[in-house]
């Protein structure tokens, strides 16, 4: 079983990682059921409070794991990314080791601060959001809900389904037909996607 690490920090955006966590932890439709699991990770072991007021306790801490222990580092948005140095450094370490990193919403600021978007295609909530980081990748900005380039996924806050699709594709969680059916259902709200998924079971 491979571990996908979900980062926890104060003001975490609750709505941005739900599809990812549900897909990874639910073996239905997976190409190899039960081959991945979610483990939460904090800068410390202290509980955090999300922007939605939910208290979450990390399963482990950054100092106890490394890229070699991980299939991917998931970074949801939060209101603290201008100073979330521990996870900026972690994103850089994961990417330098060749382990995928996925950031949505404010986490794209962290990826920019880490230098990971200087030469990769990427997106965010808007190009202007990344400008204050001083990063050198503005020419590589793409106006799209989610983008994957060389092991780094970026997505806008309004695109948690697209974010999940990119994560699932990079991990190989579903076969391509199942991923298409999943996105048809959740991305396009098309009920025929449900029947396509049911036919895959």
- By annotation, the residues acting in catalysis are 105
Contact between residue 33 and residue 27 where contact means Cβ atoms under 8 Å apart: yes
Q: CA angle at residue 59 from 47 to 3, to 5 degrees?
A: 140
Element (H, E) at 177: helix 176-186
Tokens of 195: 């029947």
CA dihedral 2, 179, 143, 21 (to 10 degrees): -40
């Amino acid at each position: 079983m491979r571990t996908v690490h979900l980062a926890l920090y104060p003001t975490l955006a609750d709505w941005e990682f739900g599809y990812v966590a549900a897909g990874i932890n639910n073996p239905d439709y997976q190409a190899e059921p039960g081959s991945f699991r979610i483990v939460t990770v904090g800068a410390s072991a202290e509980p955090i409070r999300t922007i939605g007021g939910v208290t979450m306790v990390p399963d482990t801490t950054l100092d106890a794991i490394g890229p070699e222990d991980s299939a991917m580092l998931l970074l949801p948005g939060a209101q603290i990314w201008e100073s979330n140095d521990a996870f900026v450094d972690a994103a850089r370490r994961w990417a330098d080791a060749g382990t995928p990193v996925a950031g949505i919403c404010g986490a794209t600021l962290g990826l920019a601060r880490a230098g990971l978007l200087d030469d990769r295609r990427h997106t965010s909530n808007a190009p202007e959001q990344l400008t204050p980081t001083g990063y050198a990748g503005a020419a590589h900005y793409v106006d799209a809900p989610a983008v994957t380039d060389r092991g780094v996924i970026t997505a806008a806050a309004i695109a948690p389904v697209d974010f999940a699709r990119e994560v699932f594709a990079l991990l190989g969680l579903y076969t391509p037909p199942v991923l298409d059916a999943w996105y048809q259902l959740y991305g396009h709200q098309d009920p025929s996607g449900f029947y396509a998924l049911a036919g895959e079971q």
